[in-house]
Amino acid sequence: MADEVAKIEALSYYAKKFQRLRVDRAHGIAPHKPILLLSVIEQIRREIITENKIYLSSELTQTFLKYWSYLGSFNHNPDIARPFFHMRSGKFWHLWANPGYVKLISSKERLKTLAEVKQAIKYAYLDEELFEFLQEPILRSSLVTVLVARWFPDKFELVEEISQTDEFRDPPEYLRDGYWELYN
């Protein structure tokens, strides 16, 4: 019984963390971190990520860009490097530095470009308990529901469809209105 209570409390803790992601709001809400989390969760579900090491791989980037093509913002660039680095502010996402970069990663220094992030960071990893939750379908689904409800309300079905496809939206939704208004 105590284990179940602890599990519920931990799940609630991560649900709150997902709801309270620190995002840039200068030009409207920047959806980078929620999209990165959805991408990582999909890769865990598909067993592309099988151990608690999240590499800034081409597969992760493709998944991120796929989600961005449906859920992204016209006011922001689809840049995976910054959320990969800055997600650490959530306290459940941690960075493993490449040799010689430990001080840089633990400093207040900000990495901005994909090249800088790849040079300094070997991989990211989650709190072990969160990683375990994301491997369990029911708990994973609960956390995705919290994430979508907070950051992409009314898009539950769309997010489910995105997670089941490898197709990009053409043109991406974030370009659709602004793009077509400019050229029609």
Query: Which residue type is seen at 28?
Result: G
Residue 109 is predicted with a pLDDT of 80
* Helices 137-151/32-45 angle, 10° precision: 160
Task: State how far Cα 118 lies from the chain centre.
Answer: 17
Residue 175 is predicted with a pLDDT of 53
Token pair recorded at residue 71: 């859920």
Residue 179 is predicted with a pLDDT of 41
Report yes or no: 101 and 120 within 8 Å, Cβ to Cβ. Answer: yes
Check residue 95 and report its DSSP letter: E
Residue 91 is predicted with a pLDDT of 93
Per-residue pLDDT of the chain (184 residues; tens, 9 = 90+): 778 888 899 999 999 999 999 888 776 788 999 999 999 999 999 999 999 999 999 999 999 999 999 998 888 888 899 999 999 988 999 999 999 999 888 887 888 888 899 999 999 999 999 999 999 999 999 999 999 999 999 999 999 999 998 887 776 665 555 443 433 3
Where are the chain's structural domains? 2-12+44-183
End-to-end CA distance of the chain: 62
Residue written as token pair 């860009």: 65
Encode pLDDT of 41-58 as tens digits. Answer: 999 999 999 999 999 999
Residue 108 is predicted with a pLDDT of 77
- How far is Cα 139 from Cα 148, in angstroms, rounded to an integer? 14
